[in-house]
Structure 1
Amino acid sequence: MMTESKLSFKHYLIIASMLFGMFFGAGNLIFPIHLGQLAGNHWLSAGLGFLITGTLLPLLAIIAISITKSTGIYDLARPIGHKYALFLMILICATLGPLFATPRTATVPFQIAFASHITKAQQPLALFIYSLIFFAIIFFISRKPAGIIDTIGKLLNPMFLALLAIIFFIAFTQPMGQANLQTASTATYLHGSFLQGFLQGYNTMDAIAGLLFGIAIVTAIRHLGAKNSQDISWTTIKSGILGIGLEALIYLILIWIGATSLAHFKVSADGGIAFNQITNHFMGLTGEIILGIMSTLTCMTTAAGLSTSFAEALHERFHKLSYQQWNFLTCLLSFIIANFGLDTIIAWSTPMLMFLYPLAITLIILAIASPLFGRDHRVYQWTTAFTLIPAILDALASFPPIISKSGWAQALLSLDHQFLPFAQYGLDWFIPALIGLAIGLLIHFTTAKAPLSATDMNN
């Protein structure tokens, strides 16, 4: 059996590169840029909050998969119950698939490359043509994506990082302004920038993506020779410090650049427009063209990976449709939703993320800590039960005004703010989750340990 000590630094670099490539796409460029503009001189505290949900949680998700020896989201959530695990798996796959993440892979490069060069009236038709071509290509390469994604990735990542390095070099040597002199856009960033950054990190979707991609990382580590769970966990941590550490550094620089851009530009509607303006400021039209091409190719590899993962996951559970049929439905639905535009996708994805992230965070923490309580399903169930209702209320508060400002919604949210701490920050799930965890642990340590029975496994 090969142990962790036999893995070389080269192996860590291979896993680190895989981690970075899976998590960092063009979409990860727009949220930190926009966060920097929103936070202004509070960019650093907002950035630290962003790093927790944008980088630390994805790493912990992968570690959770390795510690529990799970084969994916379903297996990880199984102690809570079969129906809940299936529900969570479908919801996360749909969010990362045709509902939000995959359509965003077309709208982000469109926003970066084209939106600022055409009128509002021209954008719907241009987006329709662009997304039609985009997802036609995705459907074609997703038939047998592995080799193509690997080939593009090996060529694309260095080029994309080289472009970023050029922009960063210019930003440091010829800064647009002083970040510490720029005013935050709203009072929420003046007095709660860390929490706002924490919540903005939800938009990367990387923590829930870590639950989906974790098994691929663990499989790759096992392939390199690590066999037992402790070796795999330590390899994941060490590789994660390299790969996700690089991602964290890029995030902080992008947030800083976003803050400095306020010296020349107003806060943009989204980070795609902001990044286009910044690139044009530094490199002119040439930089915009290069960035547009690179972001399109990067998002194509991401879209192919997401559509493939979604189609394979659902085909495995629902055999009546073939992989090709699921893939076609994924691309078709992604194309339709992409044409609602980036702003609409972000607006409607936020409630889903506000619902999923508390459940994902508690599941990740429970999985990592599970050896301490023998993976007792009661600890999982009590914690999740107490997290579920606040998560629903957080989602309700994040819906567009047509829902969140309705009378019945306002009545529920008024009770939420009255009785649950941190509700105004979107963190009303935190205290209930701790209470549920305490009850579950109390039951576990004061009664005989109850392993998963055949009845529990089927509930």
Structure 2
Amino acid sequence: MENLEQDLNREPLTWKQYLVVASLLFGLFFGAGNLIFPIHLGQMAGANWGMATFGFLVTAVLLPLLAVLAISASHAKGVYDIGLPLGPKFALAFMVLIHLTLGPLFATPRTASISFSVGLAPILPQKYSQISLLLFSAVFFILAFIISYKQSSILESIGKILNPLFLVLLFFIFLLAAISPMGAAKQQSVTPAYQTMPFFNGFLQGYNTMDALAGLAFGYTIVSAVKQLGKTSAKSNAKVTAKAGVLATSAIGIIYICLIWLGATTLNHFKIAPEGGTTFNQIVTYYLGDFGHALLATLVTLTCLTTAVGLLAAFAQDFHRSFNKISYHTWLLIMTVASFITANFGLDTIISWSTPMLMFLYPIAIVLIILSITGPLFNHDAIVYYWAVGLTFIPAIFDMIASFPPIISQQPWALQLQAIQTRFLPFAKIGMDWVIPTIIGLVIGFIHHLYQNAKLKKA
């Protein structure tokens, strides 16, 4: 039986070992797709980019780290265990929704659509874009399927070269932008949403990275890596994970800050694009010309392919574990075909339809992360979970409906629900109406827990 009370390795870890864990965390949370959202945020926030950045860092940097710590602190082996205090049915439903979001509905198709929008789309005539996306995504997912099917580590090996090269290119662009900025970020125009609530809009934009969900779904990989270094007790495992996490997330945070600032400086030269992929390509071409664009397109495509392979394999493994009548390879095929189909709706469509799911899942995920970390205070009593998640669930449903594309959100019944939402739930207009119900749920749940304990002691 695994020893969780005493470490197998009682010696302090070396800096090299901390860096190994930090690099795993960095790889888990940062991919080519994480470039487009901070750049887009910078364009929308303009002169208010600083406060918007602060909000973005909370959900895109701090929350993913807390998600991994929640896995470590609660001895969970994945997202299913995080939801288990609410019962196996809830845990299974939550796990399926998380994996569908990270899998064939949004995150995995996004790897192909981002590669296409950054690499090929800018140099192709508009009339050929749909057929080109079809052919590109077909080749992309066939390669991803073959590599995942054979469970080859070739891309993992290539990634050790690609990722540093990609970061070198990125920091070279940052250097050029610092030496010769396109404009002064503090003097740029601000879109209406960011004129009054830049922090909260940045906070909600951080949902798009999906990294907090990824932390819950794949955080056990990090916890296992720390255990392999001999830190098997819950306390020291969480301590090592936290230290390595600070290293990794600090690096990611610095990159995000630079990207948001960079996006804000572009407004003198480029219009606000529907998504950041187009803007990122414009920035690289501006500073490095056609050669820079070609290099960027190659690196983004290969790093996105690496991400796709990891997501495909993780989805197939987890679903085979939960629904074992279907083989790993069959789940892999289902995932690949579904991702290919979704990718062909285009990046803008994927983002617009992923937003409602994220508006629903993120508040619940945030509450479960908080409860998992603070669980020892109330012995992980299910009653606290029921109250907190139950009162979060209602506004999360409202936010999901309100954030759907107009084909749903502008229906009469949806408008009626939104009128009720804005009338009775504070902060509904900025998508933060879940906060007060969640706090109320946490307080009621904790009081209920204390009351039950007092009754048991009297008995």
Q: TM-score range by the shorter chain?
A: over 0.9
Query: Mapping of 1:236-275 within 5 angstroms?
Result: 236-275=241-280
Would you say the 8 A contact 1:54–1:207 is kept in 2? yes
Match of 1:345 in 2: 350
User: Residues of 2 paired with 1:93 and 1:270: CA distance?
Assistant: 24
Tell me if 1:8 matches 2:3. Answer: no
CA deviations 1:91-122 (Å, max 9, x no partner) are 00111000100000000010001112122211
Please tell me the residue identity of whatever aligns with 1:416.
Q
User: Residues of 2 paired with 1:253 and 1:52: CA distance?
Assistant: 16
Match of 1:88 in 2: 94
Deviation at 1:148, TM superposition (A): 2.1
Partner of residue 299 from structure 1, selected from 280, 291, 304 = 304
User: Residues of 1 paired with 2:394 and 2:228: CA distance?
Assistant: 41
Partner of residue 179 from structure 1, selected from 182, 185, 198 = 185
Would you say the 8 A contact 2:18–2:240 is kept in 1? yes
Alpha-carbon spacing, 1:100–1:358, altered in 2? closer, same or farther (3 Å): same
Partner of residue 35 from structure 2, selected from 29, 39, 43 = 29
CA deviations 1:199-238 (Å, max 9, x no partner) are 0000000000000111000000000111111111111111
Match of 2:390 in 1: 385
CA deviations 1:13-58 (Å, max 9, x no partner) are 0011111111111100000000000000011110110001001000
Deviation at 1:413, TM superposition (A): 0.7
Please tell me the residue identity of whatever aligns with 2:26.
F
Match of 1:281 in 2: 286
Deviation at 1:450, TM superposition (A): 11
SS at match of 1:6: coil
CA deviations 1:382-441 (Å, max 9, x no partner) are 101001010010000100001001100000110100000110010111111111111110
Tell me if 1:155 matches 2:169. Answer: no
Tell me if 1:19 matches 2:31. Answer: no
Match of 1:457 in 2: none
Would you say the 8 A contact 2:9–2:229 is kept in 1? no
Consecutive unaligned residues of structure 2, counting only runs of 5 or more, are: 1-6
Deviation at 1:3, TM superposition (A): 5.0
Range moving further from structure 2, 140-149 or 374-383: 140-149
Tell me if 1:62 matches 2:68. Answer: yes
Normalised by the size of structure 1, how large is the TM-score? 0.96
User: Residues of 2 paired with 1:263 and 1:215: CA distance?
Assistant: 44
Please tell me the residue identity of whatever aligns with 2:336.
C
User: Residues of 1 paired with 2:347 and 2:125: CA distance?
Assistant: 16
Please tell me the residue identity of whatever aligns with 1:89.
M
SS at match of 1:275: helix
Please tell me the residue identity of whatever aligns with 2:16.
K
Partner of residue 51 from structure 1, selected from 26, 33, 57 = 57
Match of 1:100 in 2: 106
User: Residues of 2 paired with 1:74 and 1:135: CA distance?
Assistant: 27
Please tell me the residue identity of whatever aligns with 2:43.
Q
Please tell me the residue identity of whatever aligns with 1:438.
V
User: Residues of 2 paired with 1:43 and 1:403: CA distance?
Assistant: 31
User: Residues of 1 paired with 2:103 and 2:347: CA distance?
Assistant: 15
Alpha-carbon spacing, 1:177–1:450, altered in 2? closer, same or farther (3 Å): farther
Match of 2:414 in 1: 409
Match of 1:456 in 2: none
Would you say the 8 A contact 2:79–2:95 is kept in 1? yes
Normalised by the size of structure 2, how large is the TM-score? 0.96
Tell me if 1:110 matches 2:116. Answer: yes
% same residue = 51
Tell me if 1:438 matches 2:417. Answer: no
Match of 2:327 in 1: 322
Deviation at 1:2, TM superposition (A): 3.8
Would you say the 8 A contact 1:3–1:231 is kept in 2? no
User: Residues of 2 paired with 1:450 and 1:10: CA distance?
Assistant: 51
Tell me if 1:332 matches 2:337. Answer: yes
User: Residues of 1 paired with 2:145 and 2:371: CA distance?
Assistant: 37
**What is the aligned length?**
450
RMSD of aligned C-alpha atoms?
A: 1.3
CA deviations 1:292-326 (Å, max 9, x no partner) are 00000100110001111111111001112100000
SS at match of 1:70: coil
Alpha-carbon spacing, 1:307–1:449, altered in 2? closer, same or farther (3 Å): farther
Tell me if 1:313 matches 2:312. Answer: no
Consecutive unaligned residues of structure 1, counting only runs of 5 or more, are: 452-459
Deviation at 1:244, TM superposition (A): 1.2
Alpha-carbon spacing, 1:4–1:389, altered in 2? closer, same or farther (3 Å): farther
User: Residues of 2 paired with 1:212 and 1:175: CA distance?
Assistant: 39
User: Residues of 2 paired with 1:5 and 1:194: CA distance?
Assistant: 42
User: Residues of 2 paired with 1:386 and 1:197: CA distance?
Assistant: 24
Deviation at 1:448, TM superposition (A): 2.5
User: Residues of 1 paired with 2:26 and 2:213: CA distance?
Assistant: 15
Match of 1:399 in 2: 404
Alpha-carbon spacing, 1:450–1:369, altered in 2? closer, same or farther (3 Å): farther
CA deviations 1:61-88 (Å, max 9, x no partner) are 0000000001111111100111111000
Partner of residue 140 from structure 2, selected from 134, 150, 162 = 134
User: Residues of 2 paired with 1:84 and 1:219: CA distance?
Assistant: 25
Would you say the 8 A contact 2:70–2:372 is kept in 1? yes
Deviation at 1:5, TM superposition (A): 5.1
Match of 1:167 in 2: 173
User: Residues of 2 paired with 1:121 and 1:344: CA distance?
Assistant: 18
